[in-house]
Amino acid sequence: MSEPQTGQATPAIREADVLIVGGGLSGTLLAMQLLRLPGARRIVLVEPRPELGRGEAYSATELGHTLNGNAARMSIEPDDADDLTRWLQAHLDEGGWPESGTQDVPVSELFPPRGLFGLYTQQRLAQALIIGQANGSSLIHVRDEVIDLQTLQQGVRATLKDGAQWQAAAAVLATGMFPAARTAQRESSGLNAAALDPWNVDALRALPTDARVLIIGSGLTMVDALESLSQAGHRGPIEVYSRHGLLPHVRRQPPAWEDFLSLAPDLRSPLQLLRELRRQCALALEQGIDWQAPLDTVRVHIARLWSQASDAQRRQFVRHVRPWWESHHHRSPPQGNALLERLLKEGRLTVRAASMQGVDSAGLRIRLRYRGQTEAVWVEGDGLINSTGIEYDWRRVDKALPRQLLQRGLIRPGNLGLGIAADAGGAVLNADGEPGQKLFAMGPPLRGMWWESTAVTDVALQAKALANRLAVEF
């Protein structure tokens, strides 16, 4: 089986047809789609990790860190929803993931470990490499980090951390997500300086088993943190604080529901959608059907609804609806929810609505203002975990490439400061709002444009569309 070439760039400027910045899921799926297309092209993928296809999300090694969607929902093949299910069945038949045998459900309903999903992506990339090599295409994995990009008349030039430079006809920002717990911010409360990584089980083992752990944020990252603490042998109290104190619902497998949005094209604003969605959920409950059934039909319409909404409507959604949308739509896998429910039942886990006002890293204290209160108070713990999710505002990310791109005016913030702006085909908009001819983006950086631009199926669709565009234009 062929593998990507790995090596260090030389001081001389090297050339490529397409340069992909980031080798997590987004960049890997784009490379996979490009390799499958007819024609010979040299694809260079710059990713500091030794493995492609994993990134932040799928580098997890703990079995308890699972996908938050079942196999039937997580295929990386836009035209084959059953691809992951078939791959997983073959993997199980070969003796892989033996722990899954304790779950008496069809393979399509299993929630695979995220590390296993990364393996699935890598194997599909390896297959694409064989197709690409037959067409005369190649994929070079450069283990480094892009710290600067410049657009030239004849293409794009990238400068890497080690000083090497690559020049390409086109470059794609496939940088993936910036987890708040692992991303330095230009304006920081000091939380990360005091907090432990929610996915680093070894670091959490350093805590006393009876430690009082404070967690900021109550979404899916918090569920991961609970699993990490459990794996680390923690048995002490855990206190979770977030602005609204909302927990993610558990993901179930509801029956099919009529696609009501396809039948109601006049539904456009977030308020109209919310009202109709509540009505549909009430209808489902009256019929003894899980309320998640109507909600699950909305996903395929999210990009359209978000892109056609006005700025005022988007702000209204983010300010007033987003917390409830996140807790209902971004649901917890059953294993994580079972742990959460057990900790609540045991009384070890408490969840409070409060906003963080400050951090005293020396004393492991956080300053909180509880919801409904006017005065803030200090709360002290033995350990602190940042589970606030993803940092989407590139202006706040303290990394070299976002800083340089903003300074050069090659990018502009996306809607409401979410990611960066681009046209419908992924061409990045510069500071003047003009689409670049050589710089593109896909995946999480386009959160402001499509809203759910982090979901696997959405990223897969973007990868295929962008690969087709690049193949035609370059």
CA-CA distance, 74 to 456, in Å (whole number)? 6
pLDDT at residue number 10:
47
Domain end among 386, 402, 427? 386
CA-CA distance, 416 to 411, in Å (whole number)? 15
Number of structural domains the chain divides into: 3
- Against a cut of 0.75, is the pTM above it? yes
* Position 6 pLDDT exceeds 90: no
Looking only at the bridges linking them, the beta strands covering 349-360 and 365-370 are antiparallel
pLDDT in tens, 23-79: 999 999 999 999 999 999 999 999 999 999 999 889 888 889 999 999 999 999 999
Structure-block tokens of residue 201: 């089980």
Cβ count within 10 A of residue 177: 22
Whether 81 is in a domain gets the answer no
pLDDT in tens, 222-273: 999 999 999 999 999 999 999 999 999 999 999 999 999 998 888 877 778 8
C-beta separation of 228 from 62 below 8 A:
yes
* 3-state secondary structure at position 330: coil
pLDDT in tens, 107-139: 999 999 999 999 999 999 999 999 999 999 999
CA-CA distance, 389 to 386, in Å (whole number)? 8
The answer to whether residues 349 and 426 belong to one domain is no
Query: Which of 133-142, 154-163, 355-364, 444-453 has the weakest average pLDDT?
Result: 355-364
Whether 257 is in a domain gets the answer no
Whether 13 is in a domain gets the answer yes
Domain that holds residue 227: 181-249+331-386
H/E stretch holding 445: none
pLDDT at residue number 5:
55
The answer to whether residues 149 and 279 belong to one domain is no
pLDDT in tens, 342-373: 999 999 999 999 999 999 877 789 999 999 99
Structure-block tokens of residue 372: 């409904």
C-beta separation of 152 from 192 below 8 A:
no
Q: How confident is the model at residue 102 (pLDDT cuts 50, 70, 90)?
A: confident
The answer to whether residues 398 and 460 belong to one domain is yes
Domain CATH for 185: 3.50.50.60
Whether 78 is in a domain gets the answer no
Query: Which of 10-19, 118-127, 338-347, 419-428 has the weakest average pLDDT?
Result: 10-19
The answer to whether residues 424 and 457 belong to one domain is yes
pLDDT at residue number 316:
87
DSSP 229-279: HHHTT--S-EEEEESS---PPBP--PPP---TTTT-TT--SHHHHHHHHHH
Whether 261 is in a domain gets the answer no
* Position 2 pLDDT exceeds 50: no
CA angle 431/433/436 to nearest 5° reads: 85
The answer to whether residues 196 and 343 belong to one domain is yes
Whether 260 is in a domain gets the answer no
The answer to whether residues 154 and 27 belong to one domain is yes
Whether 227 is in a domain gets the answer yes
* 3-state secondary structure at position 192: helix
The answer to whether residues 292 and 188 belong to one domain is no
Distances (CA, A) of 35 to 31, 137, 247: 6, 7, 41
Whether 459 is in a domain gets the answer yes
The answer to whether residues 233 and 275 belong to one domain is no
CA-CA distance, 331 to 220, in Å (whole number)? 8
* Through-space distance between the first and last CA atoms of the chain, rounded to whole angstroms: 28
The answer to whether residues 279 and 295 belong to one domain is yes
pLDDT in tens, 316-345: 888 888 899 999 999 999 999 999 999 999
The answer to whether residues 30 and 118 belong to one domain is yes
The answer to whether residues 173 and 123 belong to one domain is yes
H/E stretch holding 15: strand 14-21
Looking from the CA of 71 toward its CB, the CA atoms found within 13 Å total: 23
Q: How far is CA 163 from the centre of its chain?
A: 29
The answer to whether residues 216 and 284 belong to one domain is no
Lookup result for tokens 């410049």: 150
Total residue length of the chain: 474
Domain end among 280, 296, 329? 329
CA-CA distance, 216 to 31, in Å (whole number)? 36
Distances (CA, A) of 61 to 88, 127, 204, 228, 353: 17, 24, 15, 11, 31
